[in-house]
Amino acid sequence: MSRLCVHTITTKPLSLEQCLAEFPKRGVSGITIWRQALEGRDLSAVKRQTADSGMEVISLCRGGFFPSATAAGRQAAIDDNMKAIEQAHAIGAPLIVLVCGAVPGQPLTESRKQIADGIAAVLPAAEQAGVRLAIEPLHPMYADDRSAVNTMRQAHEICDALGSPKSDGIAVAVYHAWWDPELKSQNDLAGQKGRLHAFHICDWKTPTADLLNDRGLMGEGCIDIREISDWVDATGFTGHREVEIFSNKWWSSDQNDFLDQIASSYAQLYS
Amino acid sequence: MSRLCVHTITTKPLSLEQCLAEFPKRGVSGITIWRQALEGRDLSAVKRQTADSGMEVISLCRGGFFPSATAAGRQAAIDDNMKAIEQAHAIGAPLIVLVCGAVPGQPLTESRKQIADGIAAVLPAAEQAGVRLAIEPLHPMYADDRSAVNTMRQAHEICDALGSPKSDGIAVAVYHAWWDPELKSQNDLAGQKGRLHAFHICDWKTPTADLLNDRGLMGEGCIDIREISDWVDATGFTGHREVEIFSNKWWSSDQNDFLDQIASSYAQLYS
């Protein structure tokens, strides 16, 4: 369990305080904090409370959403990412995961250019703050309005275009990438280039009832999570495996039972 | 309108007879017949009725679904595809579109191998019958149970592995492929190799409420259909543009109004 991390969004009905209290009872050793959970809170208090919980802060979710049809929109996105960098620094999160963004109807090539420009604009501040950024390629079913970056290959291309800065890497999520025939080779490349910054797990259910909020608990679906996890570890990755589940079904269940099931399915997966 | 084809599934509430009567009133010049529409019908009568409608039969949908966890299941799939070839021949359809299949939990690499084996097993009969086959790469959100072939690159790899038989090609569907950064280059390759056998259009809605049955009418979504269509035509493709829309919304609407809207949105798209 020393590598088990849970995202606050996974147990969305719980407050941050409840997450900090309940996660460690199941042996969870890392927490990724979503920005919603920080609203109205004193960030230095959050940093202290998290340290007191015994858990490590793995990352802050999420930055990104750089593309916009207007220059003002793109500047607002950059401003928001600058704020995220400040928040990450304040709570001691070493990493921000980027959901890169897309604008319906705007050519994907243009959105990808705006994403690269946006990351370039905030990278110096991130480096200054000691915060790394991770591009999370999203499943192609989100290419319309969530991310024009849909494969690891594309994430690498953006890292390359930015001159391979050390602070800019990739978050591999099994949910988004499991279908990709290039997943293993692009994962290996990420290892070689020192770009593998984060690893997210959950499962793909058959059928999937909702594009956004019907992700499965590990074992509920068809993804060979262990195989992908082994590929990731083979690159030398020793970071946490982050459980990130958006699920109307699980959110409407008892969250303590859900956490028990997360811990047991994780233990079974890595036994 | 000389290149407008409509799939019978697009107006699912209509019988085949109604399709044959209503499509031509809007100038539709081609029809792709789904196998459900043939159930219980005399195939030579269907061939005659279709010819009488003045429309050309573009293809029969659909063959495929080759992968199975058991040898008996794979043989049943081959038998079913042999039957589809007979049906296509009997109604005068020159092409069968293949939705290749996948088995939840079975490695995608194994499913892809079974797909290639399945196509190899039926190709001689298809050639004998003068029926071509078209691999339709499906959107990655269908990789669990509908198709382990999710990009044009993968479809090309299967064609290559089979020795590039003339009868085996690719169906390009904007819905499945619009997000793919390799779409243009792989489309160009399909043109060079004589593999571009069919072209399907519809639109991607934001938000998409259902993974299967919430496709949009052209213009309802974010796909630059005209750009992709121009790429397809630039390879020398002169075939029909096939309107294939699965939509609970449109199926529950008046189908005559829907056909009017298909014709007008098509005319606007290609004006």
Kindly report, residue by residue over B105-115, the tens digit of the pLDDT.
Answer: 999 999 999 99
Q: In this model, does residue A105 exceed pLDDT 90?
A: yes
Chain B residues whose CB is inside 8 A of the A105 CB are: 222
Inter-chain CB pairs, A–B, below 8 Å: 64
pLDDT digits (tens, 9 = 90+) for A219-231: 999 999 999 999 9
Q: Is A143 on the interface with B (CB under 8 A)?
A: yes
What is the domain count for chain B?
Answer: 1
Confidence of residue A217 (pLDDT cuts 50, 70, 90): very high
Q: Which of A139, A144, A180 sits opposite B141 (nearest CB)?
A: A139
CATH number assigned to the domain comprising residue A67: 3.20.20.150
Name the residue among A222, A196, A157, A107 with its Cα closest to residue B184. Answer: A107
pLDDT digits (tens, 9 = 90+) for B224-257: 999 999 999 999 999 999 999 999 999 999 999 9
Kindly determine whether residue A221 and residue B144, on different chains, have CB atoms separated by under 8 Å. Answer: yes
Q: Is B145 on the interface with A (CB under 8 A)?
A: yes
CB–CB of A205/A246 below 8 Å? no
Confidence of residue A1 (pLDDT cuts 50, 70, 90): confident
Q: How many CA atoms lie within 13 A of A123 on its CB side?
A: 19
> Distance between CA atoms of A111 and A145, rounded to whole angstroms?
10
pLDDT digits (tens, 9 = 90+) for A118-140: 999 999 999 999 999 999 999 99
Total length of chain A: 271
Cα distances from A185 to residues A45, A137, A188, B219, B267, in angstroms, run 42, 15, 5, 37, 44
Please give the average per-residue pLDDT across B115-144, as a whole number.
Answer: 98
Please give the average per-residue pLDDT across B204-233, as a whole number.
Answer: 98
Please give the average per-residue pLDDT across B114-131, as a whole number.
Answer: 98
> Distance between CA atoms of A257 and A259, rounded to whole angstroms?
5
Chain B residues whose CB is inside 8 A of the A140 CB are: 139-141, 179-180
Kindly determine whether residue B150 and residue A224, on different chains, have CB atoms separated by under 8 Å. Answer: no
User: What domain range includes position A9?
Assistant: 4-269
CB–CB of A264/A256 below 8 Å? no
Chain A residues whose CB is inside 8 A of the B220 CB are: none
Shortest distance, CA A208 to any CA of chain B (angstroms): 8
> Distance between CA atoms of A209 and B166, rounded to whole angstroms?
39
Shortest distance, CA B52 to any CA of chain A (angstroms): 41
Mean pLDDT of chain B: 98
Mean pLDDT of chain A: 98
The residue among A109, A110, A150, A222 with the most chain B CBs within 10 A of its CB, best to mutate, is: A222
Burial tier of B238 (Cβ tally within 10 Å: 0-12, 13-18, 19+): exposed
Kindly determine whether residue A144 and residue B211, on different chains, have CB atoms separated by under 8 Å. Answer: no
DSSP secondary structure string, B27-90? Answer: T--EEEEEGGGGTT--HHHHHHHHHHHTPEEEEEEEEE----SSHHHHHHHHHHHHHHHHHHHH
Neighbours of A61 (CB within 10 A): 29
First to last CA, chain B: 10
Q: In this model, does residue B20 exceed pLDDT 90?
A: yes
CB contacts under 8 A, A 178-237 vs B, are 178-181, 204, 206-208, 211, 221-222, 224
**Which tokens belong to A174?**
């099994």
Q: Determine the residue of chain B that is closest to A145 in CA distance.
A: B206
CB contacts under 8 A, A 60-89 vs B, are none
φ and ψ at residue A255, rounded to 5 degrees: -70, -25
Confidence of residue B56 (pLDDT cuts 50, 70, 90): very high
The residue among B141, B153, B175, B204 with the most chain A CBs within 10 A of its CB, best to mutate, is: B141
> Distance between CA atoms of A69 and B154, rounded to whole angstroms?
33
Q: In this model, does residue B1 exceed pLDDT 90?
A: no
CB–CB of B223/B178 below 8 Å? yes
Please enumerate in sequence order all residues whose Cβ is within 8 A of that of B31, keeping only pairs 6 or more positions apart, or say none: B5, B6, B7, B8, B19, B20, B23, B50, B53, B55, B56, B57, B58
Q: Which of A140, A153, A179 sits opposite B179 (nearest CB)?
A: A140
CB–CB of A17/A60 below 8 Å? no
Residue % of chain A over a pLDDT of 90 = 100
> Distance between CA atoms of A208 and A154, rounded to whole angstroms?
26
Q: Which of B108, B222, B224 sits opposite A179 (nearest CB)?
A: B108
Quick one: DSSP state of residue A214? Answer: B
Residue whose structure tokens are 């004193």: A42
Confidence of residue B26 (pLDDT cuts 50, 70, 90): very high
pLDDT at A125: 98
The residues facing A214 across adjacent strands are A247
